[in-house]
Structure formats: structure tokens, C-alpha cells
Structure 1
Amino acid sequence: MEDVLEVYTRLYDPRFPQVCMDESAKQLLQDKREPLPMQPGQPERVDYTFEAAGMRKIFLACEPLAGKRFVNVTERRTSEDWAHFIRELVDVEYPDAEKIVLVMDNLSTHTPSALYQTFPPTEARRILRTLEIHDTPVHGSWLNMAEIELSALARQCLSRRIGTQEELEREVHAWQQKRNEEAITVNWRFTTADARIKLKRLYPSLEKKKSPSPTGNVAKHD
């Protein structure tokens, strides 16, 4: 936790962009009956019945200090899909970065070995050399600022019926473009000092346990 919080205190430096990555999913739902189009004095009418058309996975990376985010829609959520997403992040989104400071959840598919399983060793090593990876702790995904962006995406774009992958990609990319044009940043305020106070229960106790003396009094320790 403190490792991730330390990353968030670093100043903006385009040579070392701080990027948070996470993933989500969207259930595709198709209409069973064609909607009735909007007419003068009459809104569009959509039947309440629908049928499931499969799940699609959403990979999202954001740079909170720069107000940038990048989203990809895939059919699966495998280590290979993650590896291709990371290579695009390195080669397309940040080709000039000396090192990408990457914060992400500690999932089994988010590992350096996934790069070697997907690409030749020389290519995997080239990508990995560009990454400075910081995993969030178990049960600590709230430390990943990409969750803030996924929440905004769910509220602003995905909270309605979407039937096909093509429609999903079109809507997600339109949301991404609009949000990037507005350069919406994240002002992270939770610090290590806050954690040591508010989450004190998570830290090991270094106080010596007092043991009773034979007479029943509390023994003193030098």
C-alpha cells in the first residue's frame, strides 16, 4: 500500500508517466423487438425484453496527472489479451517514455511472464524494460486510480443496453475522446500519513506484550 501511495506523490514528468491500469466487463444485450423510432410528439419506444449476447472485456489505462485514458474492448480477458494491451500502451501511447510507472491490480494475468508467453523473449524483454510495475495489495484495489475511471465509464457510457461489440467499441471510444479532450485529471489526496492513522489496524504492533509476574503484579521490563 505504501509503495503505491509513494508513487502518487511523484511530480508529473512526461519521461516517466504514471499510468494506472484495470479491467472491467460489459454484458451485451440485444433487443428482441425493433425499437419504434422517435416521431413528432412521441419519444423513441424500446421494448423491455432483451436477450443476452455475450460478455465483452474492457481494458482501461489512465494517466491521472495528465488527464489521459485509453480503452480497449476484447472478447476475452486472458494474459495474452493483457500482454497485447500493454504492448500497445508502450509502443503507441507512450513511445517516447523512458519508463512507464505502471500501477495495477495483482491479478494472475497481470504478470511479466504473460509477456513471455505471448511474445518472443527479445520482444517481451523490450516491453518489460519500459515498465516500472507497482502492484496494489490484495483487497486493496481501491488504491488503483483506474477504478475511478472505470466508475465514470460505467455511469456515463455503459449504463444502458448495448447489443454488439461494434456498438460498444464505438461508444467507449467516443467517451474516451470526449474525456481526453476535457483533460479530466484525478486529485489523489490519501497519503501514507493518512494510512498510518486511519488504517492503523493493518500495521503490526511493535509494543511488547506485558506478562504477569508470579505474584500477580505486572512485571517490569528494562
Structure 2
Amino acid sequence: MWCIPPEQDAAFVAAMEQVLAVYHRPYDPLYPVVNMDEQPIQLISDSRPSLPMQPGSCEKIDFEYVREGMCNAFMFVEPLGGWREVHVSTTKKAVDWAGYVQWLVDHPRYANAKRITLVCDNLNTHCAGSLYAAFAADEAFRILNRIELVFTPKHGSWLNMAEPELSVMTRQCFAGRVGSQQEVADRITAWQQDRNERQIGINWQFSTDDARVKLKRLYPKIELR
């Protein structure tokens, strides 16, 4: 369970209700809602080849492994549109995030969109300043005019619908070892293509009414005199 200092209760509630209000919007291709999150992936290769499965004997994998470093997955998912795309990068710097946001606003899928609502956590790189650090002022301003940034509250990243999608990706793509960034990208490409073709969405159940019941301790107490 997360721990929220009492003085932050009101800020948490305000940010949470803003996010939940966004999730309550009906699907509108002119004003799509896209969630993004990022996740590190550890690269591990086998120290020696495994012994293949044979009749009466399962595959045998040596418990020793070789660390091959890390890579990062940037997840963008449109829950009501049944669409997601993941980018695998070596780093997760501010300029990386800015580059993928630029990719998002210029994606043919959103060519006719008037504004994209982008829901993400409040990591320090997820901000307008990252766009200005990566691009000239006019380009950063153009990108900002195409998006509405909505942040999950501090200690409330679980409100980001990209998190369960990352969890599904991890369980379905990385049950075993993966030794290179290219292999990570290949697995994710096949995974997202399958889910996009099947139009898999996200059935979000948590509502504002639920929050006011289950998280009532966070709501400020108003005393009437």
C-alpha cells in the first residue's frame, strides 16, 4: 500500500479525480486519450546452450547467466481505440521522451485529431521543458499545442492505464531470458501487432464514485459550523 503524507491528500485527490474524469470521456477520434509509461528491461543471456527437451526429459537451462545491460520500453496505448505501440530505446532521457511525443503527434493515426490527451506519471522528464530541451522553440510549441498533458498524482502511478498494459507485455513477452535489445524489440513488435489486429482494449473499472468510497480517508474533512 502506498503512503501519502496527510498534507498531500488534497493534491492527490484533485489529480486522481482529473485522471478519472478523463477516463470517463466517450471515445472521440478528434480528441483521443492516450496513456504512456516506460519500463526498464534487463537483458540476460545464457552462459551456455540449454539441453533440448527429449522424450521423458524436459529442457534443461543452466542457472548461470550473463548480464547484457538494460534497455527501456516506452509504451503508448489508446485504451478505447484498441491500439498500442512500444518503442525500445537504450536510454530514457528527457530527449527520448520528447522524441516519442513528437512521433505521437505526427502519427498518421492522429493526423485529423484536434488535440491528444496524453496521460502519464509525473516523472521529471515528462514535462514541457523536455520538449524545449530537445527541439527548437517553434517545434516544441507546435507539439505542445497538439497535446493536453494530464498527470497521475504522486504515489498514484497505478492510475495510469499504461501500467496494466506493460504488465501484460512483460508476462507474455519476457517469461524467459532475453539477451539483446533487438530481441526485445522483435518480441514486442510481434506482440503489439497481434493485440492491435485483435483490437484489444482496456476495461477500466475504477471510477470517481469508487474512489470516494474506497479512498475516503484521503478526502478532506469539512466541518460545518
- The two structures have a TM-score, normalised by structure 2, of 0.88
1 or 2 for the larger relative contact order (CA 8 Å, sep ≥6)? Answer: 2
**Deviation by residue 1:35-80 (Cα, 9 ceiling, x = unmatched):** 3456788765432221100011110010000111110001111111
The residue aligned with 2:191 is 175
Superposed CA RMSD in Å reads 1.6
Q: Does 1:134 align with 2:150?
A: yes
Question: In 2, are the aligned partners of 1:26 and 1:158 still within 8 Å (CA)?
Answer: no
Name which of structure 1's ranges 116-125 and 92-101 shifts more when overlaid on structure 2: 92-101
- The two structures have a TM-score, normalised by structure 1, of 0.89
Letter in 2 for 1:206: I
Number of aligned positions between the proteins: 209
Q: Does 1:88 align with 2:103?
A: yes
Letter in 1 for 2:45: Q
The residue aligned with 1:64 is 79
Q: Could you say which structure has the higher helix fraction?
A: 2
Name which of structure 1's ranges 16-25 and 187-196 shifts more when overlaid on structure 2: 187-196
Letter in 1 for 2:70: M
The residue aligned with 1:213 is none
Percent pairwise identity: 51
Per-residue deviation, 1:159: 2.2
The residue aligned with 2:67 is 52
The residue aligned with 2:91 is 76
Letter in 1 for 2:184: L
Q: Which residue among 134, 138, 148 is the counterpart of 1:118?
A: 134
Q: Does 1:195 align with 2:203?
A: no
Flag structure 1 segments of 5+ consecutive residues without an equivalent. 209-220
Flag structure 2 segments of 5+ consecutive residues without an equivalent. 1-15
**Deviation by residue 1:137-183 (Cα, 9 ceiling, x = unmatched):** 00111110000100101111122100011111100111111111111
